[in-house]
Chains A and B, each alone.
Chain A
Amino acid sequence: MATGEALLTNAVGLHARPSVKLTQLAKSFSSTVEIAVSSEGPWVDAKSPVKIMRVKAPKGTLLHIRAEGGDGEAAVAALIDLVHRKFDEVEESAHG
């Protein structure tokens, strides 16, 4: 089981556009990938935009990430990188 964490620093948090990017990235790995806003869970399928949107994680949330499978380490690293890149959003005009 690979694990990691990343702080949401983009203005809008884990919302429409960021959550679509996160789930698309998670789906590119064969491992099961999950996120949570607390280390105790509940853990949420990172490949489901519907479930990620239900988390409603705002800016400033520490996102916990875990993955189980052959490419688990890579999956966790990739997701952390995406969060650190602020989902490649242009901050000043972020509407999504």
Chain B
Amino acid sequence: MAELRLVGRPASPGIAEGRAFRLPDRDTLRRATGTQQQEADALRDAIADAVLYLAELATKLESEAADMIGFQIAMLEDESLAEPAFAEIQVGQSALKAWNEAIEAELVHYRSAEDEYFRARTADLEDMRDAVIDRLSGAASVAIPDGAIIFARDFQPSRFLSVDWSKGGAVVLSEGSPTSHVSMLARARGVPMIVGLGDVPEMDGHILVDGSIGEAIFAPNMETRNAYQARKVAANADARAAAEVALRPAVTQDGQRVEIYINIASPDELEPLDKALCDGIGLVRTEFLFGAGPDLPDEDTQYRVYRRIVEWAEGRPVTIRTLDAGGDKPIIGLTVDGESNPFLGIRGIRLSFARPDIFRMQLRALARAAIHGTLKVMAPMVTNPAEYSKFTSMMDEELAALYKAGIAAKRPDLGMMVEVPAAAIAIDCFEVDFFSIGSNDLTQYVTAAGRDIGAVSGLADPSHPAMLRLFAAMARHSAASNREISICGDAAGDTAHIPALLAAGLRKLSVAPGLVGSVKLAISRLNLRTKSAAP
């Protein structure tokens, strides 16, 4: 048969090749309904079996994932969970249907909970429910062969964790999302994964998968296989070379030093990192603090977290962004619901001004943390110079109050994200200590193309001439006015865009910790004088 190439959405990068393995759809598996006694026994066995399976799985996992599984086990072992199901079986219901309905009744409580924290447990309950259903329907006894390219409609996180990925393999889902739990697991484990591939023709045989571009090739011909093999070898060689340069300063072929900072969303991300990885922290997203519990974090809680991050950096600069909620980052009880276009609504500093009590508390916590290192604080979504002045005035007022109360504090350097086109074009109107380009939002606003809308995401190109002219103009202004400028959007971590960003005059890039190696490697191969790249 002829080679067939299908493209879905990339969920986890990497190249894999192997035989296709189609995981039967849970809904298509049915078991014959037996007597009441048989059904009750089947459900009891399935639950006991699921507990054993989960308990064994938990022993192989690190604490966070093991806790998630531990909760599922505790729920399954609680007899009151399946009580209504057994009652239904007694009046003639099948085990499968009775179990589904009993858990559904439980799930209603979770889905309707006001507390986001509680609602998030819905996924755990569904995972637990499916582990039992897979045992009732026989799906669990379908063994996944080592190194297979797994095709499925959806894939349970616990099932993903039970596969031995050291033998290779990949996951290809006809539905699903790159932000799902299982996609995150795949990225964490380095397993190539594609989602949203749609219906796949029934076929066996050899499959090639490139998770970084979301491509799956069925029945590849010899030429394609060789090309993939070369790509895989190059990717492996690059990964090794990237690991080698990751802990060294980034310097171009012609000797230009480029500072590499990291973006983080939680202090936990810093724990496993070698401090030599970066020149500092270019972006700390503070939304994590506000989404973790039912209550907004108090000043002391925030202070402790900021201090921990600043101390990790040991004197190197740390740029913390004030709360950037709204747009694609809603926070229950804080952001405005029902805006017709949240990306053009009350978000970033606009929301902070609408909730000054919360904003001032964050500014106080930041000013207190500033005494522990080199802290810089920036505001997101600044549009007008007046907004920036208001931000600095509020910081000064809180500082004065802290000093008056005899609390140790210091004024951090203050700056702004440049992500609103108006601010980027009129950058010379802002009297700041530093700029940080938020290229994700800036690109989508300049190109009028949402990154989250698949059909137009290709238009949201940070290398569009309009973007490159903006970057260059901003870099020129910053150099002329002796202000620092850095870039912290996804473009900074994308090796395809880095030559253009450096050519535009940017010399400070802030990227995800996992991308530092490949970014430094790309920089080390560039020659800005001759505008060429070494192999």
Footprint of B on A, CB under 8 Å? 11-13, 15-17, 20, 23-24, 45, 48-51, 53-54, 56, 58-60, 91-96
Contacts and interface: CB of A to CB of B under 8 A. Distances in A.
A12 B117 contact: yes
A40 B124 CA distance: 32
Interface residues of B, number: 29
B67 A96 contact: yes
A94 B78 contact: no
A13 B294 contact: yes
28 contacts: A12-B294, A13-B115, A13-B117, A13-B294, A15-B117, A15-B118, A16-B68, A20-B70, A20-B74, A23-B74, A24-B74, A49-B74, A49-B75, A49-B78, A50-B81, A53-B121, A54-B109, A56-B113, A58-B115, A58-B294, A60-B295, A91-B301, A92-B301, A93-B266, A93-B268, A94-B292, A96-B67, A96-B68
Given A16-B71, A59-B294, A95-B64, A50 B106 contact: yes
A82 to B, nearest CB: 15
Contacts of B295: 11, 58-60
Contacts of A12: 117, 292-294
Contact of B304 (A58, A92, A94): A92
Interface string B88-126: 000000000000000000100100010101100100100
B157 interface: no
Interface string B291-319: 01111000001001100100000000000
Contacts of B179: none
B64 A48 contact: no
A59 B74 CA distance: 22
Nearest to A45: B80
Contacts of B75: 49-50, 53
> Which 6 A-B pairs have CB atoms at the shortest separation, nearest pair first?
A11-B293, A16-B71, A50-B78, A49-B74, A58-B294, A20-B74
Given A16-B68, A16-B124, A93-B268, 14 more contacts: A13-B294, A16-B121, A17-B70, A24-B74, A49-B74, A49-B75, A50-B75, A53-B109, A56-B115, A58-B294, A59-B295, A95-B292, A96-B67, A96-B68
A58 B301 CA distance: 18
A15 B121 contact: yes
Interface of B: 64, 67-68, 70-71, 74-75, 78, 80-81, 106, 109, 113, 115, 117-118, 121, 124, 266-268, 292-295, 301, 304-305, 308
Given A11-B292, A56-B113, A91-B301, A17 B80 contact: no
A18 B121 CA distance: 13
B55 to A, nearest CB: 14
A59 B304 CA distance: 20
Nearest to B293: A11
Nearest to B305: A92
A56 B80 contact: no
Given A48-B78, A56-B113, A93-B268, A17 B67 contact: yes
B78 A59 contact: no
B372 to A, nearest CB: 16
A50 B409 CA distance: 47
Contacts of B118: 15, 56
Most B Cβ at <10 Å: residue of A56, A60, A94? A56
A20 B70 CA distance: 8
A59 B67 CA distance: 20
A85 B411 CA distance: 36
Contacts of B117: 12-13, 15
Contacts of B292: 11-12, 94-95
Nearest to B81: A50
Most A Cβ at <10 Å: residue of B115, B267, B293? B293
A50 B80 contact: yes
A12 B64 CA distance: 15
B111 to A, nearest CB: 12
Contacts of B294: 11-13, 58-59
A14 to B, nearest CB: 10
A12 B117 CA distance: 7
A48 B81 CA distance: 9
Contacts of A50: 75, 78, 80-81, 106
A4 B304 CA distance: 32
Nearest to A10: B293
Most B Cβ at <10 Å: residue of A17, A24, A93? A93
A51 B71 contact: no
A13 B266 CA distance: 21
A53 B292 CA distance: 18
B80 A51 contact: yes
Most A Cβ at <10 Å: residue of B68, B80, B106? B80
Contacts of B80: 45, 48, 50-51
Contacts of B81: 50
A16 B74 CA distance: 10
Contacts of A95: 64, 292
B46 to A, nearest CB: 17
A59 B266 CA distance: 22
Contacts of B267: 92-93
A57 to B, nearest CB: 10
